[in-house]
Each structure stands twice: as structure tokens, then as C-alpha cells.
Amino acid sequence: MDSPDSIAAQQIAQAARAFEQQRTGHVPLSVSVVLNEDTLVITLRGALSPAEKALAGNPKSAAQLQELHRQLFAVASGPLRREIERIVGVKVCEATAEIETIAGTIVQVFLLAGRAGTQTWSDGPTDV
């Protein structure tokens, strides 16, 4: 899915992968990026560590894990937000993350202050 029109999306995927590795110490199995005008969605598949996957088997622990990841993202996402702004040339207004603990997927959503075009990019399977 690598085309001249997906350069920014690929750069965002690389930044998201590096951010996740730095933030959690775990590298996602695959990263997908969808940039659609003023909305950016990054999907990190296989993003939970083996210990986190084990915790996710218990509903109470899974809920705590989801909240932990939301809070970590809220507190630590500044560098990723700035890198996205640098890549697309548009300010990030809002950002949030949701975690699906069974599959270990993290979805990050960024609302941009203006239009940044439309691009997609993925570096791996979408059914991990």
C-alpha cells in the first residue's frame, strides 16, 4: 500500500510505532494510518505486551488496563502530536486513544485544526 500519495501516512505510522515503543517498551505487530481531511486514525495491532494480554483475561483487570493506556496516552502524547503536526502541517486540536484488550489493538484518533488531505498506509496484516 506504499504509493507517492501515502508518504505522510507512512511517516505518521513510523512515528506512532516509535512513540509506542518508547512509551510502553513494546513494538506493535502492525500499524495502519488513515488520514481523512481533518481526522487522523492510527491503529496499532498487537500492541499489548504478553503481561498485558494475560491481565486482559480478567474483566476488572482489562478495564484497569484500558484506563491505564488512556491516561498514559493523554499524559505522554505531546511528542507524537508535535510530530504529526510537523508531518501534515496542521495543528492537532484533540487526541484520544481506545484499547481493545482481547486482540491487543490500540486505536488513536486525532482531530486536526484544518484539512490535511486523504491518505492511507499500512505495514502489515489488518487481521492480527
Q: In this prediction, what percent of the chain has a pLDDT beyond 90?
A: 77
Q: Is residue 100 part of a domain?
A: yes
Cβ neighbors of 34 (< 8 A, separation 6 or more) are 9, 40, 41, 43, 119, 120
Average pLDDT, the chain: 91
| Domain membership of residue 101 as a residue range | 4-118
**Whole-structure pTM value:** 0.90
Q: Is residue 58 part of a domain?
A: yes
Q: Which pLDDT does position 128 carry in this prediction?
A: 43
Q: What is the pLDDT of residues 1-29, one digit of tens each?
A: 445 468 999 999 999 999 999 988 889 99
Q: Is residue 125 part of a domain?
A: no
Q: Is residue 124 part of a domain?
A: no
Q: Is residue 67 part of a domain?
A: yes
Where does the pLDDT of residue 125 fall: very low under 50, low under 70, confident under 90, or very high at 90 and above? low
For the chain, the domain total comes to: 1
Q: Across residues 70-98, what is the average pLDDT?
A: 96
- What is the CATH classification number for the domain harbouring 114? 3.30.980
